[in-house]
Structure 1
Amino acid sequence: MKKIIWSGLAAVVLMAGGCTSEESSTAPAETEASNEEKEAAEQEATPEEEDKQEDPVKEPEQEEPSYAAVEPLTGEGTNEASQARPLAVMINNHPDARPQTGLSEADIVYEVLTEGELTRFLAIYQSGHPERLGPVRSARGYFIDLAEGYDAMYVAHGWSPEAKRMLQGGAVPYLNGLFYDGTLFQRSAERRAPHNSYIYYEDALSGLESKGYELQKDIPANFYREEGFSAVSADSAEDVSVWYSDKYVVQFSYNEEDGTYERSSDNTAFTGEKAAEQVDASNVFIVEAPHRVVDEAGRRQINLEDGGSGLLLQHGEALEVQWRNEGGRLLPYKNGEKVPFQPGKTWINVIPASAGLEESVKDIES
């Protein structure tokens, strides 16, 4: 990463010099007296004039907005924090499933490989939600573990053998489209299965509630405000690519005006179903973890328990960190101290440790 170079601006002070001219020794005395009187008059100022000179116009100070609380998964200020239990939804990332619906409104998104070179998204919603979600895809065990870390309800359409055992064993509250296809889950006629399963957010909640699950929870937060970041030494990281393979590359480009990273996929802006829904995040957390293929279908086991190296992108800078699993959440640490996420949305990319950060994360121009 390129080191940030802070450029100091040189202050240039313009000095105004006074000019004098020689007076003729033969000038009339009346002229000299007149000049002296004029200078004396100019040096005198009325109290009103002095007050005007000493009281420059002050710009009104803009007060920082004051909030009664913060949203637990984004850290953003609010006057009434949501008590909604998080909803974690499996979102398809096959090329035939793009553009997806609802990703831009997720508080947290995990992107992890499933089979082959394809990733899948676990989109977690709590502070707000879209009207509709999808395409919804099948469950995997490590995504269930992540959902459990947020005490989230879990929505998928289908499951692997491992995920089936976990869900039927009560790992998390869940809703599976296999049992609600055509009722709670709707198929889009514009796409082919399995890339066309959608669910309305309110339908997901009603389905979960009908199964007796609690829809309200107290959720802990892990954030600090803008001024906290200046204490962290980091490298420049305005344009970063994450290589899952030669065929699938994710890009994050820093938007200084918004203070967020805009996501692209294979050099194409990653938007929602509506082109204006640019997917972005205040925090991009890239972590390496051991991956192992476990069956002929190419399914993987991914070790998200033991921690490892990570890279945290915030404010156009990259900080090398270690990640730890705390209660199912992947969190960044530096020198043994937790580095809380900045207020805003968070995108977490899990990459294979076999390639690691050195090979998988690059400047876009390199």
Structure 2
Amino acid sequence: MADLVLGRASHGCRRAPAHLKSTRSHEFHERSVLVRRAQLTTALLAVTSLLLVGCGGGDDPSSDKQKPASQEVAPSEEVVSTWPLTGLEAAGGEDVAKPHPVLVTKIDNTYASSPQLGLGQADMVVEELVEGGLTRLAAFFYSSLPEKVGPVRSMRASDIGIVSPVDASVVTSGAAAPTIKRINGAGITFYPEGSQGLYRDTSRSAPYNVFADLTKVAQAAEQDPARPDDYLPWGTEEDFPGGQKATKIAASFGGGHTTNWTYDGQHYNNENSYAAEGDHFPADTVLVLRVQVGDAGYRDPAGNPVPETKLIGQGQAMVFHGGKLVRGTWSKSDLDAPIKLSTKAGDLTVPAGRTWLELVPAQNGNVTFTKR
């Protein structure tokens, strides 16, 4: 399938403060406050101890022989740091606030893309509808950056609602002019072909030969020491309610493409993936959101109307985890807002882990599963 006309706009600017959320997640804020308080207390006690030593009574000869009273500093409360795109605890005290933004890489999802590279290092993947009934992947990278990921393809207007909640930057081959205008209007930074870290693999055929070294893209990105917000409402295995058994999943995007999953007792395996051997995305959870899809207002070079996923509002949600299905509702108040999940019993969380989101059209898409 022919790709869209490449947009050669500038990389754009990081989102203006007006577009950023005023606070990070409440839980992460509380942990940060605890750390700062503990550090401040330790520093004050250390200063006090030095003052006592330096200002001991000089008139009393015996004061030189006296040892300052010991200061017992209570150990700071253990702080658990988690990754924003998985909810998993960072190992070995690793800093979960990377200096680079979340890098969302647009990856082709047709037979021509085989083999896809880099999916095995993604924190999260979103599958979205594009023209011709096919799908494209938005692979989220933050905790780990692969040196070769792709084939990298073009952006869509649908990506605005997908990447905005974590103020992500998009790695892309380009985009059609109407898409670039909307992406720039939303304040989203993107790195098209020609940017540092993007290159053509001469062993492959165009347009399926654009790849990215995300370590180099990150070096060129504006440095941001802040931890992104949690993309999903993360929870624990114990929080996840018992659901009906569901070990095989078929997510149909409306007649053009169906993604099939099988639960093997640990992960969900994508049965019709184009990923390279050993480089598949190990999904702990498959989250299906039934979404409204409209017309983006232009056609691709082949004459196909370009669809636009409306990741805003609310709809049905299906959470597949541990070989079980829990049904609920998703909601998202605006493009920048995080996704919220709920059931009739209250808020619903996603067990921490690596999640694959299927944005299935509510109009003509379908999701089936079996209990085997």
The alignment's TM-score, normalised by the length of structure 1, stands at 0.71
**One of 217, 236, 239 as aligned partner of 1:225:** 236
1:271, 1:170 → 2: CA distance? 31
Corresponding residue of 1:55? none
Corresponding residue of 2:206? 193
Per-residue Cα deviation, 1:149-193 (whole angstroms, up to 9, x for no partner): 11112211111233211333362122111x43xx63211122211
**Code of the aligned partner of 1:362:** T
Greater mean alpha carbon deviation, residues 341-350 or residues 168-177:
168-177
Change (3 A) 1:289 1:282: same
Please say if 1:159 is aligned against 2:175. Answer: yes
Change (3 A) 1:279 1:364: farther
SS of the aligned residue for 1:291 comes to strand
Q: Is contact 2:130-2:136 (8 Å) kept?
A: yes
Q: Is contact 2:287-2:356 (8 Å) kept?
A: yes
Change (3 A) 1:336 1:170: same
Q: Is contact 2:96-2:227 (8 Å) kept?
A: no
Q: Report how far residue 295 of structure 1 moved.
A: 3.0
Change (3 A) 1:187 1:165: same
Q: Report how far residue 355 of structure 1 moved.
A: 2.3
**Code of the aligned partner of 1:310:** A
Change (3 A) 1:313 1:81: farther
Q: Report how far residue 332 of structure 1 moved.
A: 2.2
Corresponding residue of 2:275? 272
Provide the aligned length of Structure 1 versus Structure 2: 282
SS of the aligned residue for 1:100 comes to coil
Gaps of 5+ in 1: 1-65
2:81, 2:220 → 1: CA distance? 30
Q: Is contact 1:139-1:163 (8 Å) kept?
A: yes
1:87, 1:172 → 2: CA distance? 11
Q: Report how far residue 243 of structure 1 moved.
A: 1.6
1:349, 1:237 → 2: CA distance? 16
**Code of the aligned partner of 1:272:** A
Q: Is contact 1:146-1:328 (8 Å) kept?
A: no
Per-residue Cα deviation, 1:240-268 (whole angstroms, up to 9, x for no partner): 11122445221111121x2x211122xxx
Q: Is contact 1:239-1:252 (8 Å) kept?
A: yes
Map 1:131-146 → 2, pairs under 5 A: 131-146=147-162
Q: Report how far residue 224 of structure 1 moved.
A: 1.6
Q: Report how far residue 82 of structure 1 moved.
A: 2.0
Question: Is the radius of gyration larger for structure 1 or structure 2?
Answer: 1
Q: Is contact 1:271-1:279 (8 Å) kept?
A: no
Q: Is contact 1:261-1:283 (8 Å) kept?
A: yes
Q: Report how far residue 202 of structure 1 moved.
A: 1.4
Change (3 A) 1:247 1:204: same
Q: Report how far residue 365 of structure 1 moved.
A: 8.7
Map 1:250-261 → 2, pairs under 5 A: 250-256=259-265, 258=266, 260-261=267-268
SS of the aligned residue for 1:299 comes to strand
Q: Is contact 2:197-2:215 (8 Å) kept?
A: no
Q: Report how far residue 216 of structure 1 moved.
A: 2.9
1:215, 1:196 → 2: CA distance? 30
What's the C-alpha RMSD, in Å, of the aligned pairs? 2.2
**One of 308, 316, 322 as aligned partner of 2:315:** 308
**Code of the aligned partner of 1:83:** A
**Code of the aligned partner of 1:193:** A
**Code of the aligned partner of 1:74:** T
**Code of the aligned partner of 2:326:** L
Q: Report how far residue 215 of structure 1 moved.
A: 3.6
Please say if 1:320 is aligned against 2:327. Answer: yes
Q: Report how far residue 126 of structure 1 moved.
A: 1.4
Q: Is contact 2:239-2:349 (8 Å) kept?
A: no
Please say if 1:332 is aligned against 2:332. Answer: no
Q: Is contact 2:107-2:136 (8 Å) kept?
A: yes
Per-residue Cα deviation, 1:253-305 (whole angstroms, up to 9, x for no partner): 1121x2x211122xxxx3633x1223221111111112223334321122211
Change (3 A) 1:123 1:235: same
Per-residue Cα deviation, 1:344-363 (whole angstroms, up to 9, x for no partner): 1011001111125xxx1112
Please say if 1:341 is aligned against 2:344. Answer: no
**One of 267, 285, 297 as aligned partner of 2:287:** 285
Corresponding residue of 2:84? 72
Change (3 A) 1:336 1:299: farther
Q: Report how far residue 136 of structure 1 moved.
A: 0.8
1:140, 1:361 → 2: CA distance? 24
Q: Is contact 1:104-1:278 (8 Å) kept?
A: yes
Q: Is contact 2:102-2:142 (8 Å) kept?
A: yes
Corresponding residue of 2:96? 82
1:365, 1:248 → 2: CA distance? 22
The alignment's TM-score, normalised by the length of structure 2, stands at 0.70
SS of the aligned residue for 1:348 comes to strand
**Code of the aligned partner of 2:246:** A
Q: Report how far residue 204 of structure 1 moved.
A: 1.0
Corresponding residue of 1:44? none
2:189, 2:359 → 1: CA distance? 24
1:336, 1:217 → 2: CA distance? 34
1:163, 1:217 → 2: CA distance? 28
Corresponding residue of 1:361? 367
